[in-house]
Structure 1
Amino acid sequence: MRPDPVDSDGSTSRALLVVANLIPAVGVLAFDWSVGLLLTLYWFEVGVTMFFAGPKALFAEGTISQQLADSSFPFEDLFEKRGGVRVDSRLPPVYPRNVPVAVVCVAVWLPLWLVTGVVFFGVLDIGAPLTLTTGVSMLLGAVGLFVTRASEFRDDYLHGERYRQITALVATGVPTRQLIAVWLLGIVFVGAVDAGTVGFDAGATAVALLAVALKTGYELYSYRYDHADREPNRVAAMVFGTPDVDVDRSPIHVPDSEPTRRLTPSRRSVRVGGSLLGLVDVVTLFVLLLWVLLRNAIGPIRATVVLGSVLLALVTVQMGAHYLRYGTMRYDCYATGVVAHDRWLDAPQQWLPYDRVDKVIVSKGVTGRLLGTGTVRLHVNRNWTYDTNQIIELAHLDAPERVAEELEQRVHGRTGLD
């Protein structure tokens, strides 16, 4: 049984949001915070938001529009996955279709966040004005920001079931916008004052309080915007994104009869195929150039260890994504068509009737030539508009030629797959 929302009207979340954003104002007025310290605290908040953005993205129920799914994302084939899996009874289901967005958040925005922190600590001279009182006040401010984000995640996103109303892109949009805002604040205010030597004078204090006011106003409007029932205006949509991009997918047709045959991918072929794809993705001139640069900076042995670790991590991630895409599949062949079914998610993914098939093609690639496996592709007749995909793939099958021959017989009305 799902627990009742502990913050159904959002008042607690809004109150925590205001308190957390007013903490920096107290720091500026009472503890002589510099603009550099203020920006560092905001930088920390971006990291906290990213920390919660990952699970938010995986829990989001909204499906991403086809236009966005067709753009450049890693593992974009996972966008087509239907269904989710519940890893804990107290949490919402995790949706594999959201993995590409979560990966971008970790692989792109997290490194940029770390680089921003290095720049702040190096350029803004954060440690120079730091005293015990200032350090304790900064620590309390950081704790307050973390508690705010954690409470919002628990009360609003989970218990308030906010995850039912947004997509993974919307969930990861908040830290993205926050990081850009921190960059802009850094450029503007570092140019206005010397962040490492700001004292309690009227000009510096006014600049710091202006930053707090802008940040607080942004957070409150962003919260109100994300929870609004009405359509946003164009300017707000461009700045904050569209909060409720929910594309309703039509259900997959599954025949009432039992399948005449069930086909499952070769596990070995899936593993080898995923590892080869990972190597192809990362063994590029860019990686070689990076090795040369690191060799000159830290020496050839350390450069090899660093890039070897990165290579292993990337190949492992690619293998995992490839397994999510193909390793959990089952292909149910009925008298009238084929259903691609995900065993782990226990959800049908595609349905293609034989009378809509234009041709059956077998492709092998490197993995198939090594292991004797292959992919059977059923292409849709061009005169018929298929609303899911133009091709259904039966990937990593043993004896693919025999399967293709039997499917050809079904397509042309002859006996097969019995």
Structure 2
Amino acid sequence: MASSSHDLSAVFLVTVAANVVPLVGVFHLGWSAQTFAVIYAIELVVTVPFAGLKALFARCPPNYDELERPKEDDPLKSDERGGISVGPSDLTHRRGSVTIVDPLPPIYPRNVPFVARAFGSAVALVGLFLFVLGQFVDVPATLADPSVAASVVFLVISHVGVVNREYFRNRRHETSTPRDMVASATTEAGLAVVVLMFAIVGGPAGALVAFVAVKLFAEWRSYHGGMAFDPEEGVGMLPPVAAPDVPPTAEVRPDRRAVRATALWQGVKSAVSGGPAYLFAWVGITAGSAGPVAATVVCFGLLPAAVGGLKAVEYALTHGTLAYQRRDDAVVAYDELTETVQWATPVDDIRDAELCEGEFVDRACDTRTFSLTTFAGEYELSVAHLREYGRAVEAFVLPVETTAFDPIDRRVAGAAAAVGVCGVAAVAGIAYYAPTIAAVVAGFGSPFGVVALRSAWQWALPAT
């Protein structure tokens, strides 16, 4: 233990020296403050998605006493400890793991929501850092500098080496929770944003001082926390599922087309919700030497695609890999990806089964999603996107009144769709003549557009 303490002390002192050197160089040797400020910002941004990738392999699940699945009418109820919110996701309660590559440990689908939030946080950080630094630094020109480009490559390679050495070889993934992995990185980056807001009056030198101060503070916390690490903190294992060990007499799978379409729609909603972050990034890039076309492709194309793509993957893993089975007198949800039973409930324990009227894709694809309420269960169970829904109702003895959707108000739905199409066309037309105005409208208007369309859809649904 003593040698481990000495090693941590040596690493901490080396880190302190490495972060003090740029300050000495800038204030006494004439080095470029804006170059180091951009490099520090990149390091903070890169650390967050790397934390998300590490969280994917974290063997210890989050604390399920604190991480509760929020109700649909309470979207603000989520796991907010450590500044990371995973929001409503059934995937966080997923059992089992899957091995992708033999040398690496298995990955856990339940950690994917944390990974998605980490990449979403990284996108938000990109927008904020570009917006603030773009006020006094030509960020695109600085990134084009060969020395900065080489530093970025070295930074990524060093992160890969650190993850391999400290996380995999030292087997820290066995005692880590996904929330702690992501929270540590997002907390440091968020603190840097706050400090940078106050240090902006100092220009590039002030930004560099802010970054170095936050970096040293984070290293100091890591140094003290590393010697007092509790592997049991935050661990909350799900109880094993008791399911009949017999071949299923009936099996129904979700319709793949419906799952893909819903995953795509969920990804689009998640991507659009980050509009302000894309706008901040666009302003920061166009404030430098980058043209509006390139900035638009990056900020309103690549960044939303990354955020939306991960959300789509999350939804596909939540519903697309399950098979719903009837085993003896029980209904069982079996995950074919991890080869693990996710939940099982006796047929007689199903108190209520409700047809989800608000699923747009189910209406379009002629599939059905049912919400099951049991007498003893803590959470509602979902049987999603079934094309053979009649067979499922019969085999699982679901107490549903009807499997037919009530008609929606087509006037409201059509008007909402027309307004949405016109809004997109208007933004595209404005972008041709006034890119800045179009970016502002897209950045701040798109989240409100999603909320408006969602409200219109709820209005169009039949009253219950």
Task: Give the TM-score normalised by the residue count of structure 2.
Answer: 0.64
What CA deviation, in whole Å up to 9, does each residue of 1:127-180 have, x standing for no partner? Answer: 999xx9xx96x8898787666644431221111111122222211123222223
Q: State the Cα distance separating 1:245 from its structure 2 match.
A: 1.5
1:328 to partner: Cα distance: 0.8
- Cα distance, 1:118 vs. partner? 4.7
Gaps of 5+ in 1: 1-7, 199-206, 232-242, 412-418
1:8-407, aligned counterparts within 5 Å?
9=4, 15-16=10-11, 18-30=13-25, 31-33=29-31, 38-66=36-64, 67-70=66-69, 71=78, 73=86, 76-123=89-136, 149-191=159-201, 193=202, 195=204, 212=212, 215-229=215-229, 244-278=233-267, 316-363=309-356, 365-381=359-375, 384=376, 386-387=377-378, 389=379, 391-407=380-396
Q: What does residue 419 of structure 2 align with?
A: none
CA deviations over 1:38-92 (Å, ceiling 9, x no partner): 5444323213312421211211122223433531636622212112211111112
1:379–1:273 Cα change, 3 Å:
same
Q: Distance in 1 between matches of 2:196 and 2:297?
A: 35
Give the deviation of 1:34 after TM superposition.
6.4
Indicate if the aligned counterparts of 1:10 and 1:156 stay in contact, CA closer than 8 A.
no
For residues 3-22 of structure 1, the C-alpha deviation after alignment (integer angstroms, 9 at most, x for no partner) is xxxxx948667645543442
Over 3 Å counting, the alpha-carbon distance change for 1:166 and 1:122 in structure 2 is: same
- CA gap 1:265/1:227 in 2 versus in 1, 3 angstroms: farther
For residues 8 and 360 of structure 2, the distance between their equivalents in structure 1, rounded to whole angstroms, comes to 53
Question: By how many angstroms is 1:341 displaced?
Answer: 0.8
Higher mean displacement: 314-323 or 396-405: 314-323
**Separation in 2, partners of 1:110, 1:13:** 32
The corresponding residue for 2:429 is: none
Unaligned runs of 5+ in 2: 70-77, 79-84, 401-464
Return the alpha-carbon distance in structure 1 between the equivalents of residues 186 and 298 of structure 2. 31
Is the Cα contact below 8 Å between 1:13 and 1:151 reproduced in 2? no
CA shift in 2, pair 1:256/1:223, >3 Å? same
2:100 match: secondary structure = coil
Evaluate the alpha carbon distance shift between residue 374 and residue 119 of structure 1 in structure 2; reply closer, same or farther with a 3 A threshold: same
The residue type equivalent to 1:251 in the other structure is: P
TM-score, structure 1 as length reference: 0.71
- For the residues of structure 2 that align with 1:306 and 1:114, how far apart are their CA atoms? 9
Displacement of 1:268 in angstroms is 2.2
Contact map agreement 1:22 1:216 (CA 8 A) in 2: no
Which structure has the larger Rg? 1
